């Protein structure tokens, strides 16, 4: 019964306290914003160079648009086979798009390299 009313991203009390501590740590917040800004811009530029449309973002993720839902699914399968997990967003009415969260420098480079391999 509880699962019927529970929110989709509920957390426990220790996780909530850790989140509050992180948000109150201004140097952590500043570093996270700087990292996100740098890599969001880089990812958007590099993915656009490959011919994919990228929705401008101010969050910690971007949307990569493919020509068709089938192409998005094939890209998702290809990236997954390389250990890269993106999120399909068809349930949000975007069947031809994938959501990419900004990651570490290594992960960001891996996504771009894998997309380059996918489209060649």
Residue ranges of domains in the chain: 11-118
Determine the pLDDT at residue 3: 77
- State what percent of residues in the chain have pLDDT above 90: 83
Q: Which residues lie across from 65 on neighbouring strands?
A: 53, 97
Determine the pLDDT at residue 99: 98
Segments of the chain with pLDDT less than 70: none
Look up residue 16 and give its two tokens. 């909530």
Q: Which residues lie across from 101 on neighbouring strands?
A: 61
Determine the pLDDT at residue 70: 98
pLDDT in tens, 56-85: 999 999 999 999 999 999 999 999 999 999
Determine the pLDDT at residue 8: 75
- Assigned CATH for 11-118: 3.90.1150.10
């Amino acid at each position: 019964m509880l699962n019927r009313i529970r929110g989709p991203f509920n957390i426990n009390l220790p996780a909530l306290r850790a989140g509050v501590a992180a948000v109150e740590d201004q140097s952590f917040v500043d570093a996270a914003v700087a990292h996100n800004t740098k890599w969001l811009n880089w990812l958007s530029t590099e993915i656009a160079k490959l011919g994919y449309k990228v929705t401008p973002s101010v969050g910690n993720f971007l949307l990569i648009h493919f020509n068709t839902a089938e192409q998005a699914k094939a890209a998702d399968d290809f990236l997954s086979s390389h250990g890269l997990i993106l999120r399909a967003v068809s349930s949000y009415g975007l069947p031809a798009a994938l959501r990419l969260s900004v990651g570490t420098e290594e992960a960001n480079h891996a996504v771009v390299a894998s997309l380059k391999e996918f489209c060649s």
